[in-house]
């Protein structure tokens, strides 16, 4: 056996990390973005424990309190309150839950559907490919956000509806990209050899094509996460997303904009910063993954 | 069992060239144009020829990766065209392949053990204990340690990967293995190991090989019979030592004279061919080699020569019989 | 000019990993020389360091590589000490290189004429019209039919053999003293390869070139070279005149390699294979790098790396078997 296996084992003992996590120490690993994303996810999971107040109920007498470090603020409402007296910090924490849930669910559903269609289209070719690709083309021609708004207007608000709508809009990107990958993977020798061995088309797609394109799907998913979150925020902002009183960051932005002129900056800047942090971190992580998995994926 | 294990008669493969919106066929690439050969049990047929000669297409047809446009292929006497699903599957089991690039032949996401037994588990339902037993035997046959089964391909060198590919090809105990440039991508010091392994396996298991390579010495070393292809046709076919030592067809002579020497003192009368290999879209009329042939006669440009017997083998050339 | 055209003395090029943790001795203490008009073959497998040696010669190493010691004297002056602008005048003009894949060496967006004329225009400042004429002459010199038409064509319109000739034409356009050919025929068919090698030999004679072939193919060495240098794991294990080394190789690796290659005319005799595989250049075995595979290994080989010995007065060998006491 060549020495690379021994070398990578040696490297990880020096750095005292189990070999599965050794990638953390590799060049350019976006440690901070990953920690940010991880924190957001933990916050989302432990929201009920972490949030000091009920995010949906407020005391009207306490409205428009600024953050604690400004005059008029209290430690009780560390990041202030909104127009209904609801605690901003608690709403941000629970809002993380919405963003994470919607974000993850959409990329999982869209990813699964899009990848499956991309594989079928790319591997089976001929008329199946034509049909799926033309549908994809037509779907892609529609502007994503407009389509989402249109569908939301028809189906109505609600978290599961949002997830369905966004997934329905976003699967096409996966289908296209994965199909491209499949076109090159299926020409590789080991796929030919699988045909020679007598494997059925479905077995080949499952065992040989899928594992070799899943990396691209993951990279695409991380890159898409940011877009999905912005879309969700946009939908909520426009009032066709997550319905009040559920706290979504986009909704908080929409509510908060009324207060901008009055100087209630925390109602927009704070949820906006959260959106920005999450999207930026997802993009940085996705970028790194893209280069790490395969420099040829740069065109993604 | 007497008689050849694989036989091809008048095999043809044409690829249509389609242009335009309606994909009309405007031309035809005559990749393989009426070739016949046979492989006996436990013997090796070597195929040599340069780019565009059709040897890769022939290999694909043998592996049923391409369907012939014409002609007949017989496996153990049975016409492949007439085979139904069950017998076709049996054919697939009996004919396996090893390709050139050891880095592309193995699924990087599968463990070596699964790669090797994949043909076996796809085609037969065996208890996992039996599968394991066979896996260990295969690893032993190709000289790999038991623990190789749990590792991934990237942990192995080129030569070792080729051994894995060979083990996989053997897993169904095939009758024929198509070897397409099995050692060209390997380091020189390792090629002999793999070639010896292949020969030992042939002696041990009685498997036949269709051996395709551009290294003439390697082909001559491994093969019992050599077929020389040019632009889709077999121009010469016969016992390996005769074809290699005293080739009759002018192309074969040029080919073997162009082979690199193995010693600085080896002098060869080099026959330098004029021009380039014509495109298989428009092969020359008559004998396809005639525009470049140093011995072309008048009839070579109009009449296609047939494969006829000459000194112990078959040559398609108007120079023979003299 | 007296003395060899190219004199490499104890050259070592190392690759250092990004964190400085791993050092790969790609070229380790190599001493070679090349006279005018001579053809040298540098033979080695993957990991032998032969390509790194070629890149070092032209000072075209990647950032991770460092020349750690030694000198490279070209026409008497050390290439390692030259500033970059002087090296640029040498590359392409005095020392030229041909690579393996002609499709990668040629720019698909420019005509053949533009590409052949480019070195002439860059190095000699020749105006476009005369450079173009020179290009056509060069195409004739590399035996391309109808050069006047070809010179206007693009690389994709030509066959592999023709493209490799164009690459050759580019290489000799400024009349270099040394031409380095790194696996120039690997992608070519057998008959095209023979034509191309003959062309190189003729060009060598007519232009008084010194040729360096970097290859794993001992057939090319047998056909084309006067001198051969065998590399293994970064070290030069044997060097000397080709005939002598083929007749009586001093180093067990060279001998094993020569014996393992199938020979036309040997019939179906079993080959003598070498056990094991070439070592990982970043983690070579201790002592002599070949010892795990050597049929003649001794205890000393496992711990002490042998220096270069004179096996005969024209052959050097890095093997304890060639040590004076052992002979």
Cis-peptide, bond into residue A245, ω within 30° of zero: yes
Residue pair B219/B237 in contact by the 8 Å Cβ criterion: no
Question: Nearest by CB to B192, which of C217, C265, C272?
Answer: C272
Altogether, the residues listed in chain B come to a count of 322
Chain A residues touching B165 at Cβ < 8 A: 193
C226 interfacial to chain B (CB closer than 8 Å): no
Give which of B143, B145, B161, B141 is closest to B153, Cα–Cα: B161
Q: Provide the token pair at C48.
A: 């032998």
Altogether, the residues listed in chain A come to a count of 300
Question: Nearest by CB to A189, which of B101, B119, B156?
Answer: B101
Helix (H, G, I), strand (E, B) or coil at A259: coil
**Strands, sheet with B95-98, edge to edge from the N-terminal-most edge strand:** B95-98, B176-180, B208-212, B44-48, B225-230, B233-239, B313-315, B308-310
Count of Cβ atoms closer than 10 Å to residue C47 Cβ: 23
A134 interfacial to chain B (CB closer than 8 Å): no
C-alpha atoms less than 13 angstroms from C-alpha of B80 in its C-beta half-sphere: 26
Give which of B235, B261, B191, B311 is closest to C264, Cα–Cα: B261
CB pairs under 8 A between A and B: 66
3-state secondary structure chain C: CCCCCEEEEEEEEEEECCCCCCEEEEEEEEEEEECCCCEEEEECCCCCCHHHHHHHHCCCCCCCEEEEEEEEEECCEEHHHCCHHHHHHHECCCEEEECCCHHHHCCCCCCHHHHHHHHHHHHHCCCHHHHHHHHHHHHHHCCCCCHHHHCCCCHHHCCHHHHHHHHHHHHHCCCCCEEEEECCCCCCCHHHHHHHHHHHHHHHHHHCCEEEEEECCHHHHHHHCCEEEEEECCEEEEEEEHHHHHHCCCCHHHHHHHHHCCCCCCCCCCCCCCCCCCCCCCCCCCCCCCHHHCCCCCHHHHHCCCCCEECCCCCEECCHHHCHHHC
Helix (H, G, I), strand (E, B) or coil at A4: helix
Q: Provide the token pair at B278.
A: 């014509």
Partner-chain contact A3 C280, CB within 8 Å: yes
For the segment C45-72, the average pLDDT, to the nearest whole number, is 89
**DSSP conformational letter for B125:** -
For the segment C198-223, the average pLDDT, to the nearest whole number, is 92
Residue pair C250/B229 in contact by the 8 Å Cβ criterion: no
The set of chains that have 3 or more CB pairs under 8 A with C is A, B
The 10s digit of each residue's pLDDT in C166-181 is 998 998 888 899 999 9
For the segment A74-96, the average pLDDT, to the nearest whole number, is 86
Give which of B308, B250, B233 is closest to B71, Cα–Cα: B233
The partner residues of C96 in beta bridges, in order of sequence, read C179
Integer Cα distance of A56 and C45 in angstroms: 71
**Residue for token digits 């990766």?**
B65
Q: Which residue has the higher pLDDT, B154 or C187?
A: B154
Question: Nearest by CB to B109, which of A198, A199, A211?
Answer: A211
Count of Cβ atoms closer than 10 Å to residue C57 Cβ: 23
Residue pair B142/B166 in contact by the 8 Å Cβ criterion: yes
The 10s digit of each residue's pLDDT in A237-253 is 877 777 777 888 888 88
Integer Cα distance of B234 and C299 in angstroms: 55
Partner-chain contact C283 A27, CB within 8 Å: no
Residue pair A62/A84 in contact by the 8 Å Cβ criterion: no
The reported pLDDT for the residue numbered A294 is 65
The partner residues of B30 in beta bridges, in order of sequence, read B14
Range in A11-25, A60-74, A156-170, C12-26 the model is least confident about? A11-25
- Average pLDDT, rounded, for chain A: 82
User: CA A42, A46, A47, A49: dihedral to nearest 10 degrees?
Assistant: -140
For the segment A214-240, the average pLDDT, to the nearest whole number, is 83
ipTM field: 0.86
B111 interfacial to chain A (CB closer than 8 Å): no
Minimal Cα–Cα distance from C190 to chain B, Å? 6
Minimal Cα–Cα distance from C19 to chain A, Å? 9
Residue C7 scores a pLDDT above 80: yes
Residue C260 scores a pLDDT above 50: yes
The reported pLDDT for the residue numbered A66 is 86
Give which of A156, A163, A177 is closest to A221, Cα–Cα: A177
User: What's the pTM value of the predicted model, to 2 decimals?
Assistant: 0.83
C280 interfacial to chain A (CB closer than 8 Å): yes
The reported pLDDT for the residue numbered A20 is 57
**Residue for token digits 């050599």?**
B226
Residue C29 scores a pLDDT above 70: yes
3-state secondary structure A68-93: CCCCCCCCCCCCCECCCCCEHHHHHH
Integer Cα distance of C207 and C150 in angstroms: 23
Residue B257 scores a pLDDT above 70: yes
**Which among A63-77, B31-45, C255-269 has the top mean pLDDT?**
B31-45
A6 interfacial to chain C (CB closer than 8 Å): yes
**Residue for token digits 């189990």?**
A18
């Amino acid at each position: 056996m060549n020495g690379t296996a021994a070398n990578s084992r040696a490297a990880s003992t020096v750095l005292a990390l189990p070999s599965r996590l050794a990638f953390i120490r590799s060049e350019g690993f976006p440690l901070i973005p990953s920690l940010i994303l991880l924190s957001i996810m933990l916050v989302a999971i432990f929201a009920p424990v972490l949030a000091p107040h009920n995010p949906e109920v407020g005391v009207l007498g306490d409205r428009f309190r600024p953050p604690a470090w400004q005059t008029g603020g209290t430690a009780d409402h560390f990041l202030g309150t909104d127009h209904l007296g609801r605690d901003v910090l608690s709403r941000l924490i629970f809002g993380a839950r919405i963003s994470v849930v919607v974000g993850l669910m959409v990329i999982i559903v869209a990813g699964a559907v899009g990848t499956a269609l991309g594989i079928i289209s790319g591997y089976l070719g001929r008329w199946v490919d034509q049909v799926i690709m033309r549908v994809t083309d037509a779907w892609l021609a529609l502007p994503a956000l407009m389509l989402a708004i249109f569908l939301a207007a028809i189906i109505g608000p609600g978290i599961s509806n949002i997830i369905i709508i966004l997934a329905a809009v976003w699967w096409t990107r996966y289908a296209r990209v994965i199909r491209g990958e499949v076109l090159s993977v299926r020409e590789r020798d080991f796929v030919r050899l699988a045909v020679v061995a007598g494997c059925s088309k479905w077995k080949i797609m499952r065992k040989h094509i899928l594992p070799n394109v899943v990396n691209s799907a993951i990279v695409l998913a991380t890159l898409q996460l940011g877009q999905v979150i912005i879309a969700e925020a946009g939908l909520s902002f426009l009032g066709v997303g997550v319905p009040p009183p559920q706290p979504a960051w986009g909704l908080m932005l929409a509510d908060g904009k009324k207060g901008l002129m009055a100087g209630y900056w925390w109602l927009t800047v704070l949820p906006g910063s959260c959106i920005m942090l999450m999207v930026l971190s997802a993009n940085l992580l996705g970028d790194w993954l893209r280069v790490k998995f395969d420099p040829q994926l740069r065109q993604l | 069992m007497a008689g050849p294990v694989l036989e091809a008669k008048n095999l043809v493969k044409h690829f249509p060239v389609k242009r335009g919106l309606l994909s009309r066929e405007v031309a035809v690439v005559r990749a393989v144009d009426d070739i016949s050969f046979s492989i006996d049990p436990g013997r090796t047929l070597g195929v040599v020829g340069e780019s565009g000669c059709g040897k890769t297409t022939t290999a694909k047809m043998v592996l049923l990766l391409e369907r012939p446009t014409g002609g007949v292929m017989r496996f153990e006497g049975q016409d492949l065209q007439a085979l139904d699903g069950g017998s076709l599957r049996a054919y697939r089991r009996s004919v396996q392949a090893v390709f050139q690039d050891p880095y592309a032949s193995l699924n990087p996401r599968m463990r070596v053990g699964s790669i090797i037994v994949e043909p076996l588990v796809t085609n037969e339902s065996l208890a996992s204990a039996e599968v394991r037993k066979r896996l260990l035997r295969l690893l032993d046959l190709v000289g790999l340690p038991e623990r190789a089964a749990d590792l991934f391909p990237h942990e192995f060198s080129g030569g070792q990967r080729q051994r894995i590919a060979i083990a996989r090809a053997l897993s169904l105990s095939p009758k024929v293995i198509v070897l397409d440039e099995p050692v060209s991508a390997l380091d020189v010091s390792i090629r002999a190991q793999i070639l010896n392994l292949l020969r030992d396996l042939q002696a041990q298991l009685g498997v036949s090989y269709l051996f395709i390579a551009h290294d003439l010495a390697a082909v001559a070393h491994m093969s019992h019979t050599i077929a020389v292809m040019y632009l889709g046709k077999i121009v010469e076919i016969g016992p390996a030592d005769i074809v290699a030592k005293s080739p009759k067809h002018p192309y074969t002579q040029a080919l073997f004279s162009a082979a690199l020497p193995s010693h600085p003192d080896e002098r060869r009368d080099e026959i330098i061919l004029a021009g380039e290999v014509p495109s298989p879209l428009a092969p020359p009329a008559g004998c396809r080699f005639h525009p470049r042939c140093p011995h072309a006669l008048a009839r070579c440009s109009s009449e296609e020569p047939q494969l006829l017997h000459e000194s112990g083998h078959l040559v398609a050339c108007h120079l023979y019989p003299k | 000019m007296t003395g060899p055209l190219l004199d490499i003395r104890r050259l070592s090029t190392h690759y250092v990993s990004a964190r400085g943790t791993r050092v790969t001795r790609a070229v380790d203490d190599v001493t070679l020389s090349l006279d005018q008009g001579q053809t040298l073959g540098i033979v080695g497998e993957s990991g032998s360091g032969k390509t790194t040696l070629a890149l070092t010669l032209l000072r075209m190493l990647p950032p991770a590589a460092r020349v750690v010691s030694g000198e490279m004297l070209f026409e008497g002056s050390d290439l390692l000490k030259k500033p970059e602008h002087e090296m640029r005048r040498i590359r392409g003009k005095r020392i030229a290189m041909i690579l393996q894949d002609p499709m990668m060496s040629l720019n698909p967006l420019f005509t053949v004429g533009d590409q052949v004329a480019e070195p002439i225009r860059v190095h000699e400042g020749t105006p476009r019209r005369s450079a173009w004429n020179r290009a056509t002459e060069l195409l004739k010199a590399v035996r391309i039919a109808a050069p006047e038409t070809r010179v206007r064509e693009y690389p994709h319109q030509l066959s592999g053999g023709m493209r490799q000739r164009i690459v050759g034409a580019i290489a000799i356009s400024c009349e270099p003293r040394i031409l380095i050919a790194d696996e120039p025929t690997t992608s070519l068919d057998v008959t095209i390869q023979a034509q191309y090698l003959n062309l190189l030999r003729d060009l060598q004679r007519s232009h008084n070139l010194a040729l360096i072939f970097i290859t794993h193919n001992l057939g090319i060495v047998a056909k084309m070279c006067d001198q051969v240098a065998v590399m293994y794991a970064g070290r030069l294990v044997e060097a000397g005149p080709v005939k002598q080394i083929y007749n009586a190789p001093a180093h067990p690796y060279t001998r094993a390699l020569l014996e393992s290659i199938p020979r036309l005319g040997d019939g179906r005799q079993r080959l003598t294979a070498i056990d094991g595989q070439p070592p990982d250049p970043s983690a070579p075995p201790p002592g002599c790098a070949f010892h795990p595979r050597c049929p003649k290994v001794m205890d000393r080989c496992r711990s002490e790396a042998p220096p270069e010995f004179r096996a005969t007065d024209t052959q050097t060998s890095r093997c304890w078997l060639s040590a004076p006491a052992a002979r």
